[in-house]
Amino acid sequence: MLRTTPLVNNISVERLVKLWAERYVPDLSTFSSSTGYLASSELVEAASPQGRTQTVAKLQRMVEINCKCAGIQTNVIFSYIPNVVSLTESQGIAKAASQVYQKVLEIYQQQSIPPALLSAISEGETIDLSAEIFKPEVMPKLSLLEVKHLAIAIEPILLQLQSKHLSTPDRRTIGFMSTQFHLSAKLVLNRLTISEQLLLSPYFKFVEEQVCIPWQRVCAAAAKHELNSPMLALVQKLLPLSQEIAKQVYNQAVQSYPNHRSRRGRLSDAGVRTSSIRDIEMFQGYLWLCALEGNMRAVEEELLPLCMMVFPSIEVTWELVEQLLPLLVAEIQELLSSAQMRLLLPYTQSMQQLFSDLESKAAGKTKNFIIFA
Does residue 20 sit in the same domain as residue 163?
Answer: yes
Q: How far apart are CA 340 and CA 264, in angstroms?
A: 37
Q: How far apart are CA 192 and CA 43, in angstroms?
A: 12
Does residue 208 sit in the same domain as residue 258?
Answer: no
In a domain, 51, yes or no: yes
In a domain, 234, yes or no: yes
Give per-residue burial for 70-87: e unless 16+ CB within 10 Å, then b.
Answer: bbebbbebbeebeebbee
- Arithmetic mean of pLDDT, 112-125: 70
In a domain, 199, yes or no: yes
Q: Quick check: 238 pLDDT over 90?
A: yes
Does residue 191 sit in the same domain as residue 298?
Answer: no
pLDDT of the residue at 325: 94
In a domain, 2, yes or no: no
Dihedral angle computed from the Cα positions of residues 117, 121, 126 and 132, in that order, rounded to the nearest 10 degrees: -70
Does residue 88 sit in the same domain as residue 29?
Answer: yes
Does residue 181 sit in the same domain as residue 269?
Answer: no
Of 212, 234, 259, which residue sits at a domain end? 212
pLDDT of the residue at 1: 60
Does residue 173 sit in the same domain as residue 254?
Answer: no
Does residue 42 sit in the same domain as residue 191?
Answer: yes
Choice among 58-67, 80-89, 322-331 with the minimum mean pLDDT: 80-89
Of 212, 242, 260, which residue sits at a domain end? 212
Angle at 68 between CA 66 and CA 69, to 5 degrees: 60
Q: Quick check: 152 pLDDT over 80?
A: yes
Q: Quick check: 78 pLDDT over 70?
A: no
Does residue 301 sit in the same domain as residue 352?
Answer: yes
Does residue 187 sit in the same domain as residue 43?
Answer: yes
For 35, the domain range is 7-212
In a domain, 220, yes or no: no
Of 212, 235, 267, which residue sits at a domain end? 212
Residue-averaged pLDDT of the chain: 83
In a domain, 343, yes or no: yes
Choice among 53-67, 108-122, 301-315, 320-334 with the minimum mean pLDDT: 108-122
Does residue 181 sit in the same domain as residue 257?
Answer: no
Burial class (CB within 10 angstroms; exposed 0-12, middle 13-18, buried 19+) of 193: middle
CATH code of the domain in which 285 resides: 1.10.490.20
Does residue 131 sit in the same domain as residue 79?
Answer: yes
pLDDT of the residue at 56: 94
User: Residue 373's pLDDT band (boundaries 50, 70, 90)?
Assistant: very low
| Number of domains the chain is built from | 2
User: Which is higher by pLDDT, 173 or 113?
Assistant: 113
In a domain, 218, yes or no: no
Does residue 67 sit in the same domain as residue 130?
Answer: yes
